[in-house]
Structure 1
Amino acid sequence: MLIGPDSDQTPALSIVMPTLNEEAGIAECIERAKTAISELGMTAEIILSDSSTDRTPEIGRDLGAIVHEPDQSGYGYAYRYAFDRARGEYIIMGDADTTYDFEQIPRLLAHLREQDADIVMGSRLEGEIKPGAMPSLHQYVGNPLLTKFLNAFYGAGVSDAHSGFRIFTREAYETMNLETTGMEFASEMIMEAGAQDLDIVETPIVYHEREGKETLDSFSDGWRHVRFMLVNAPGYLFSAPGLLLGLAGLVVMGIAYTGVSIGNATLGTHSMIAGSLLTIVGYQVASLGVFATVASDPIQKPTDPITERVTTSLSLEHGATAGLVLFGVGSLYAAALVSQWITNGFASLEFTMSSLIAFTAIIIGLQTVFSSFFLSAINR
């Protein structure tokens, strides 16, 4: 049932393994995949996306695998390179280091079909992790935290977001716009699947100890996942923090200006200054959310009404006009202060909370004007 690259038959399954010096475990992985193919009775191809300097590709070819050599480096790119050349209706992905048992392909495929899903993932955290198969830092800290991030930001609803053992339909792959080249590819697939309303299901699997040298860098690869998730969710990275900071600043300024007491405490001038700074910083951070949404086309766009309104219907003229009005109101008060200063013979003027409100309005007004022009420039 295993067919080669020159066969006229179209395989039902494409089993893809990225390989980087995996000669210690590649033969076992291929033999297990062959067992699964035989059990299913379906035509299949085994593809190695290989960047090895050892005997991995030679072993793979001897055992009937198709070997492709990606023209760029990277875990994600190796998968994408092979997926683009895979011919099967169903695509199976898994590491070639014996950590995943390819004999379980029939069970995962059956689950995919039974659930009428687009993607099925083998969950290590809901299954069994053999002693020594996964470092404690990954098992109890890294993978659970990254999974919580992904579920919170993207509503993935999975228990093990970074399991590398997955089956998905060709249609699902073609629906996802996968672009990353590194280890963050595992996160991108789930994020894109969620953005495209694809159905992801899980089933428990056993995770085995690997053969060969570990290639994962815990901290740098973990940070790549977090960075990718944050950059593609500007609502969480910029909009929400910006709105919270701005609202907190306005509340502090309002309380300080009105002189309302909070218990035995009364907010004064220093609180007013802090509130002004929070308001300005919050406005700037929230503006970055708008810019990131328009300029980068993130996977998860902000859903708050303010960002949606600004990015979809606010014109340059409306934004610039609002900024000029705000700037003008603040400037009128500032002009009155300058006039008073001149009239008093350039003597020192008493600091007032009203003047701080005016200066805050001037700054935010100017930001609005120039932000409107910048938004117009990147949104052409």
Structure 2
Amino acid sequence: MPTLNEEQGIAECVRRIKNALVDLEMTGEIIVSDSSTDRTPEIANALGARVVVPDKPGYGYAYMYAFERARGDYIAIGDADCTYDFEELPKLYDLVANGDADMAMGSRLEGEILPGSMPKLHEHIGNPLLTKFLNVFYRAGVSDAHSGMRVFSKDALETMDLQSTGMEFASEMIMEAGAKDLEIEEIPITYHPREGEATLESFSDGWRHVKFMLVNAPGQLFSIPGMLLGALGMLVMGLAYTGVQLGPASLGLNSMIAGSLMTLVGYQVASLGAFATVASDPIQKANDPFTTWLTQRVSLERGATIGLAVFAAGAAYAALVVGQWFTAGFASIPVAEANIAAFTAIILGIQMIFGSFFLSSIAE
């Protein structure tokens, strides 16, 4: 249990954990990773818990500091504010010990949330939304991704490469488990009102979770939106260039300009997915066709050659337009859809050339 001034709840939590160990008919240790300025460590120590003091701040760091000192084959975690009833631990432990799961979690949203236990904003918007993010991005398949009551094996802990020192640690554990194909199972639990003052900051901590999820999933953050935007842009350009009617409407010069911008921005955003995948070693690497092709099939020489070919095609037409302008005595030449397509190809080719050099440099 990580503790920060939990003197009102720590004694009851330790009592419930002892009852759970009696029910399981097994020995265990209770580790309190403490950063308190009140009587929490004295109370925990008097009740037989091992109190360790992390040498750095942070919710996630407190957990990792305790994990390094844990001696059991199985680890249970939870908050020390009495919101989780640790007497429910045996049913989570059984799932892991019997081999039905690498990690077992208590689901508050599938269980019972007692009145006054969780703000309505968290219950109906915050936790469901963050859980949806994790399920979509990391295939976690859970109903309550931010439940703090969990049991997992020491082997599962070693498989997960946990690094976060802050509140996003709870998300990282699920993200790592999903990315490493660990089996996660849930059991409904009862969530109780907390004892003592709350230390969670709803919006700032929620944003930290969202930001952490996004930057560790460059496919969903960059590649997929970029490909969709680029494909839409090329479609709009194609319709505008060919003059195809869409019912009573026809796309013209303004649509061609909009399509050009969407194509260029789409390619740039999608390429960021490849750069992030190669450079940042995210938890969930982008595996969409564009990023896979760009990172695994395209060498510096091949990418630069493709970019040069696209640039040359656009530059050839642009040179023709400049020649017409010169022979017309520098008279004004109307902007046509073909002109926009040519200059789009020029810019896209330049992006491809320099992007290939950049991808090669960060991959080395």
Q: For the residues of structure 2 that align with 1:352 and 1:141, how far apart are their CA atoms?
A: 49
1:214 aligns with 2:179: no
- 1:5 corresponds in structure 2 to none
What is the SS of the residue equivalent to 1:357? helix
**SS of structure 2 residue aligned to 1:212:** coil
Which residue is 1:40 aligned to?
A: 24
Q: Does 1:50 align with 2:21?
A: no
Aligned mates of 2:210, 2:165 — CA distance in 1: 15
Extract unaligned runs of 5+ from structure 2: none
Matched, 1:144 2:128: yes
**Structure 2 Cα separation of the partners of residues 249 and 66 of structure 1:** 61
2:295 — aligned with what?
A: 311
CA distance in 2, matches of 1:364, 1:203: 52
What does 1:204-283 align with in structure 2 at a 5 Å threshold?
204-283=188-267
Cα pair 1:111 1:203 within 8 Å, conserved: no
* Aligned positions of 1:1-380 closer than 5 A: 17-114=1-98, 116-380=100-364
SS in 1 for 2:30: strand
Amino acid across the alignment from 1:131: P
- Secondary structure in structure 1 of the residue aligned to 2:358: helix
SS at match of 2:69: coil
TM-score by length of 2: 0.98
Q: Deviations over 1:69-113 (max 9, x none)?
A: 111111111111111111110000000000011111222212333
Identical aligned residues as a percent: 67
Aligned to 2:29, what secondary structure does the other structure show? strand
Unaligned runs of 5+ in 1: 1-16
Q: CA deviation at 1:39?
A: 2.1
Deviation at residue 313 of structure 1 after TM alignment: 2.5
In 1, Cα distance between the equivalents of 2:54 and 2:60?
A: 11
Amino acid at match of 2:83: T
C-alpha distance in 2, partners of 1:313/1:341? Answer: 41
Cα displacement (A) at 1:332: 1.0
- 2: CA distance, partners of 1:193 / 1:65: 29
Provide the rounded CA distance (Å) in 2 between the counterparts of 1:309 and 1:249. 21
Q: What is the Cα deviation at residue 324 of structure 1?
A: 0.8
Paired amino acid for 2:326: I
Q: In structure 1, the residue corresponding to 2:107 is in which secondary structure?
A: strand
Tell whether the 8 Å contact from 1:147 to 1:162 is kept in structure 2 after alignment. Answer: yes
Do the aligned partners of 2:237 and 2:256 also contact (CA within 8 Å) in 1?
yes
Deviation at 1:303, TM superposition (A): 2.0
CA contact (8 A) 2:96 2:153 kept: no
